[in-house]
């Protein structure tokens, strides 16, 4: 089952050609003389590792206004963490994703396994960005709850595929899965509390 999902994800993403294009572009724009090979490889590594952080930065910039405004007006459960927690946690997780992506890219593994892992990694990153857009920009809490479930499945599949390439990289992604598990529960809880209530029902609001 996981092989079929991985193959489908890789095909949907152009067989992970997004990664090949990134490396090829970096190779073209950087000097190609032999003495600079190590320098070029180092810069390429930085670009690969920074890719998830770049996605996170754009996502965070789009989400920030809603977090400071609309999100604070929602009826949230008492176990909702303080807003200031989200930025540092997501930054750390995107950095971990970057390290895992670099490890997968440079791993000496069969091409099919590596491309499958990269394809699923790209898929979950797209879903990650999509959830932020749906929840914080579109304010579609119910749709975001469905989307984050898909994200959770994509991350789990990514970890399985990455584990066949680099067990260390797969382990690095486990905290990410744990946080998204928590975020899924929080999203669903907010969605349930935001649904219209029957007349006369009462609910104690969460922290503002």
Consecutive 10-residue runs of the chain (208 residues): their mean pLDDT? 46 54 62 69 91 96 94 95 93 97 93 95 98 97 98 98 96 98 98 77 47
Residue 165's domain spans which residues?
A: 2-194
Rounded Cα distance, 150 and 203, in Å: 29
pLDDT of residue 40: 83
Residue 137, domain member (yes or no): yes
The pLDDT of residue 39: 84
Tell me the pTM: 0.78
**CATH code, 135:** 1.20.1260.100
Q: Residues 59, 132: contact at Cβ < 8 Å?
A: yes
Total number of domains constituting the chain: 1
Residue 81 lies in a domain: yes
Going by C-alpha positions, the residue among 149, 128, 123 that lies closest to residue 58 is: 128
**b/e per residue, 162-173, with b = 16+ CB within 10 A?**
bbbbbeebbebb
Residue 98 has a pLDDT of 97
Q: What is the DSSP letter of 161?
A: H
């Amino acid at each position: 089952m996981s092989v079929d999902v991985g193959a489908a994800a890789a095909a949907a993403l152009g067989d992970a050609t997004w990664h090949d294009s990134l490396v090829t572009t970096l190779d073209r724009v950087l000097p190609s003389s032999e003495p600079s090979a190590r320098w070029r490889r180092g810069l390429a590594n930085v670009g690969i590792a920074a890719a998830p952080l770049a996605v996170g930065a754009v996502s965070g910039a789009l989400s920030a206004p809603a977090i400071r405004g609309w999100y604070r007006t929602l009826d949230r459960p008492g176990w909702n963490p303080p807003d200031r927690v989200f930025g540092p946690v997501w930054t750390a997780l995107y950095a971990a994703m970057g390290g895992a992506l670099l490890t997968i890219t440079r791993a000496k593994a069969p091409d099919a396994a590596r491309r499958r892992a990269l394809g699923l990694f790209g898929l979950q990153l797209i879903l990650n960005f999509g959830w932020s857009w749906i929840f914080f920009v579109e304010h579609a809490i119910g749709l975001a709850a469905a989307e984050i479930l898909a994200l959770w499945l994509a991350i789990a599949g990514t970890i399985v595929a990455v584990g066949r390439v680099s067990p260390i990289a797969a382990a690095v992604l486990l905290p990410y899965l744990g946080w998204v598990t928590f975020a899924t529960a929080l999203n669903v809880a907010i969605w349930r509390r935001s649904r219209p209530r029957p007349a006369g029902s009462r609910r104690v609001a969460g922290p503002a």
